[in-house]
Amino acid sequence: MRLAGKTVLITGGRRLGAKLAILLAQRGANLAFSYHTSPDGMQSVVEECRLAGVQAESFRADLRNPEEADLLVQNTIARFGSLSVLINLTSVYTRTPLDTLEPKDYYEAIASNLSAPYFTAIAAARAMRQQPIENGLQGKIIHFTDWAVDRPYRFFLPYLVAKGGLVTLTKALAVELAPTITVNAIAPGTVEPAAAASEQKLERIRRSSALHRIGSADDVNQAVLYLLEGTDFVTGEVFRVDGGRFLGATTGDV
């Protein structure tokens, strides 16, 4: 798919999402992106996208609510006239040790990390299916899951369960929407770590990753670009972009 002139909707335009919006704007896509509780910085992303010569707009939405997910898609189409790509980054990452887990931790993790992308993907897919088929495609959907779905660590049980559900959502939707809409997922390792992450923790991550480094937003966003512009022949796939963290440390001979 060529991005020039297409409309891309990014949900969760904060860290990776903001950089992704600018990268895709530079490829000529018109950009809609959503935020929930952090409006700060959204206008500067809109302006940076517009400097690339495309149209851009940010929208507030609480995507745990299916009506707001529908409205976000409707507003995007009302503003730009079509929707070719949905990229679902919506997520809340909360430490929830087992001993203090409460039912609300589970419900909140599922709502933000699974229900939100689920509702948004269905709303977007229904809209995409109204559009003409171009080069065999009506649209593309990309979800963001997590490398740790395949090798879980402790203290994030509800988050990991929700991200695991997102993998199944990716594969099941790929079947539902074939052959004209592709659905894939990216599973990042640690990239653009939060400012609060200690150097000790970051060093532990580097040491436990085959490539011995923390990733950048660009490492992940280039994989998104590949799924959008590099190939139209992949669907139902999950791409781990984790610097080999899944493989663990490489320690030479066994």
Ligand X SMILES: NC(=O)c1ccc[n+]([C@@H]2O[C@H](COP(=O)([O-])OP(=O)(O)OC[C@H]3O[C@@H](n4cnc5c(N)ncnc54)[C@H](OP(=O)(O)O)[C@@H]3O)[C@@H](O)[C@H]2O)c1
Cβ at position 148, least distance to ligand X in Å: 7
Alpha-carbon distance 193 to 85, whole Å? 26
| C-beta nearest to ligand X: residue | 12
Shortest Å, Cβ 168 to ligand X:
16
Q: Figure out which of the listed residues 29, 188, 221, 241 binds ligand X, where binding follows CB under 6 A.
A: 188
Nearer to ligand X, 28 or 41 (CB): 41
Query: Quick check: 147 and 246 in contact, CB under 8 A?
Result: yes
Nearer to ligand X among residue 64 and residue 140 (C-beta): 64
Among 6, 36, 140, 245, binds ligand X (CB under 6 A): 36
Q: By CB under 6 A, how many residues form the interface with ligand X?
A: 29
Q: Which stretch binds ligand X (CB under 6 A): 78-86, 102-110, 127-135, 185-193?
A: 185-193
Concatenated DSSP letters for 98-155?
GGG--HHHHHHHHIIIIIHHHHHHHHHHHHHTTSPPBTTBSEEEEEE--GGGSS--TT
Strand (E) positions, the chain?
Answer: 7-11, 30-35, 56-60, 85-88, 139-144, 181-188, 238-241
Q: Is the dihedral of CA 199, 112, 85, 228 positive or negative?
A: positive
Q: Using CB under 6 A as the criterion, what x/- string covers residues 37-76 for binding ligand X?
A: xx----------------------xxxx------------
Exactly one of 9, 77, 109, 116 binds ligand X (CB under 6 A); that residue is 116
